[in-house]
Amino acid sequence: MSRVTRIPVDDLRAGPLDLDAQTSRHVARVLRLAPGDALVLFDPEHALEATARVVSVERDGVRVVADAPTAARVRAVRQVTLLQAIGKGDKLDAIVRDATELGVTDIVPVETARAVVLLGDRAADRVARWRRIAIQAARQSGRGDAPRVHLPRSWGDAVADARPAGTLALCAWEDAEAPIGPLLQGLRPEQPVVLAVGSEGGLTAAEAAEAAAAGFHLVSLGPFILRTETAPAAVLGALLLLTCE
Amino acid sequence: MSRVTRIPVDDLRAGPLDLDAQTSRHVARVLRLAPGDALVLFDPEHALEATARVVSVERDGVRVVADAPTAARVRAVRQVTLLQAIGKGDKLDAIVRDATELGVTDIVPVETARAVVLLGDRAADRVARWRRIAIQAARQSGRGDAPRVHLPRSWGDAVADARPAGTLALCAWEDAEAPIGPLLQGLRPEQPVVLAVGSEGGLTAAEAAEAAAAGFHLVSLGPFILRTETAPAAVLGALLLLTCE
């Protein structure tokens, strides 16, 4: 299936635009676009997109000319924030990719008692990496926006700040008894959702209590123990597909 | 969190049992169980489980004594069959793992125009591998059963045979216009589901037509293009969580 080539750019405006070095290499060497070829530019931060045409392919860069940007056609319809405890290794990479495909709008990496803690430069590097992954996942899934990836926060701060009025706040906890099903079925169209998920080791009882005190529903995701990467995919998948009417 | 050690075995019966070489190594060297330690044996094919105790740990094997087996406490509640086109590389490994966690009961690898085709011994090797992955995923997710992994079939045969009466048959197709949401919301408790998903390249229009002719609903999974591994996780996650009441 041939699809239109979609290229993410910052600050999309009508007129000539020089793609950055990495994107230029991708366009010239992998996609092998040539002068005259059509593509779509999208600005994931502002959810804008524009048709464009390649005007020159040089050793040091690709220049395109963009038409007037319009609001991105395909974008998240519901505000869904994922508060995700930071797992080991590259687990959060996969979670960011899946969550982007499944329509999340904000991702907040959180530090819990049993999660990995990232300090200083390492946190900034990882957040930059997750933002790149989110933009690429948006490109591949045809989304014209991309989720915002926030700086890591402590569990307490993240759950305390997560609930504007009217939001359905869910905290997946393996010791919870209330099933998530009825809450999902009672969700109103366009009602914002916040979902909090622990890391491999789960959440402590104290962390679950903090979430409950902040207004989160502590919910069971069913009889099976889900990995930290499967849990958000299951919930975000359910939210996406139920919204899909 | 300490959880009881769960070990998969074939043909579980009460009484003494010698674990196979690989399981013995795992029990002795990784889990470091010693005589007198308790564990749970489960027989995923027959959905049975039994408490047991280690009686000896020798160089060449571990012997345990099992109590009388009972029906597994945690098992799939709904019949859910996944007809999954075979993707490149190890994509189906990840899909089998996720689908097991999310409660699928049967996995049928299918050959489509755009999927990878496995022939002869290679198919048998891969199926054996997927069965091992399913059993390990069942162990980790606390399931006392494991999905049956069937031999690969052609798309035409798989969709033609997939629909006993009363089953909700869904075929995810990116050109479908009918949203999946209302069908999920109208699902009856314990109604069996068959879900058919293409590979990276998607399904051809002819394949979608074959599924429709066999009684499948051709459904859209929403505005975003999901990868072949994200699509089943989203649908199976939605089925699991909506059933979770």
* Residue A3 confidence class, pLDDT cut points 50, 70, 90: low
Q: Which residues pair with A193 in a beta bridge?
A: A80, A168
Contacts of A204 in chain B (CB under 8 A): none
Q: Strand, helix or coil at A136?
A: helix
Whether the model pTM is above 0.80? yes
Examine the pLDDT at A1 and tell me if it is beyond 70.
no
In the numeric block, the tokens 């989160």 are attached to: A216
Contacts of B140 in chain A (CB under 8 A): 225, 227
Contacts of B75 in chain A (CB under 8 A): 223
Give me the interface pTM, i.e. the ipTM: 0.92
Q: Give the mean pLDDT of B116-136.
A: 88
A244 at interface of B, judged by CB pairs closer than 8 A:
yes
Q: Which of B77, B179, B244 sits opposite A221 (nearest CB)?
A: B244
A203 Cα to chain B: minimum distance (Å) = 10
A164 at interface of B, judged by CB pairs closer than 8 A:
no
Contacts of A227 (CB under 8 A, 6+ apart): A200, B101, B140
What structural domains does chain B harbor?
A: 6-71 (2.40.240.20), 80-243 (3.40.1280.10)
Contacts of A103 in chain B (CB under 8 A): 222, 224
- pLDDT tens-digit profile of A146-202? 999 999 999 999 999 987 789 999 999 999 999 999 999 999 988 999 999 998 889
Distance CA B206, CA B188 (A): 30
B77 at interface of A, judged by CB pairs closer than 8 A:
yes
Distances (CA, A) of B107 to B45, B82, B102: 14, 5, 12
B64 at interface of A, judged by CB pairs closer than 8 A:
no
